[in-house]
Amino acid sequence: MNPIQNIQNDRAKARKLGDTNADICFLALTDSDGRASVRTLVLRDIIDNRFTLFINKTSPKWQALSSGASYELLLWYSSMQRQYRISGSAQALDTEIVKTNWQRRPIGSKYLDYVYEELGNQSSVISSREILTNKIIQLKGSQSPDDMVTPPMVAGIELVATKIEALDLNMEDKIHDRQVYRFDGTSWTSEILIP
């Protein structure tokens, strides 16, 4: 009765099936005024009951998470018709882990992290897309990928799950299977929910 193992198994199966959602997640946050927002992110790792995301400290999502905003993480594996809704607490990831993992990022993403340092915070307004693309071209001309180091504003977040709702839409009788799992710090318990 370990929902994390179920998620890891489903994620591995989704990858084998070529599911485009296998390595992404949908993060919902509330801001200090209670307004909700949702974004799509790359889900890096799942270790124990911790879900790892890499973000930039200039982004609104960092501001929300670091100030204690509530979150919900949604995993949707369309190839299997399975959904997981995950909630709990958030904590900053160790800087050394962030630096190690940043080196594995795609080149374009690395340049974008440099853009935040030089052009403006993530989600800030610019007058044209050309300004962004020109800045990336300029950085590519002046900065070799081999010499790039992790910018100080790159960060990681661990979303520590204490509650997971699982929904399986792929039942033969077409009656969806829905369960909720709760973690008490030692083990998971589960209950069946009416879908």
Q: What is the pLDDT of residue 149?
A: 92
Q: With 90 as the cut, is the pLDDT of residue 5 above it? A: yes
Pick from 3-7, 80-84, 85-89, 135-139: least confident: 135-139
| Higher-confidence position of 79 and 174 | 79
The answer to whether the CB of 167 falls within 8 A of the CB of 83 is: yes
Assigned token pair, 132 = 């962004």
Write the pLDDT tens digit of every residue in 140-177: 999 888 889 999 999 999 999 999 999 999 878 888 99
End-to-end CA distance of the chain: 19
pLDDT band of 108, cuts 50, 70, 90:
confident
Structure confidence at residue 153 (pLDDT): 92
| CA neighbor of 160 nearest in space, from 40, 12, 48, 7 | 48
Nearest to 155 by CA among 76, 60, 58, 16: 58
Share of the chain above pLDDT 70, in %: 100
Is residue 124 a contact partner of residue 161, using CB atoms and an 8 Å limit?
A: no
The predicted pLDDT at position 157 comes to 92
Mean pLDDT score across all residues of the chain = 91
The pLDDT value recorded for residue 32 is 72
Residue 49 has pLDDT above 90, yes or no: yes
Q: What confidence tens digit (pLDDT) does each residue in 122-133 have?
A: 888 999 999 999
H or E stretch covering 3: helix 3-16
Q: How many CA atoms lie within 13 A of 76 on its CB side?
A: 8
Among the listed residues 193, 153, 183, 192, the one whose alpha carbon sits nearest the alpha carbon of residue 48: 183
Share of the chain above pLDDT 90, in %: 65
Give residue 99's identity as a one-letter amino acid code: K
CA pair distance 97, 57, nearest whole angstrom? 16
- Does the pLDDT of residue 30 top 90, yes or no? no
- pLDDT band (50, 70, 90) for residue 60: confident
Bridge partners (DSSP) listed for residue 51:
46, 159
What pLDDT, on the 0 to 100 scale, is given for residue 155?
A: 92
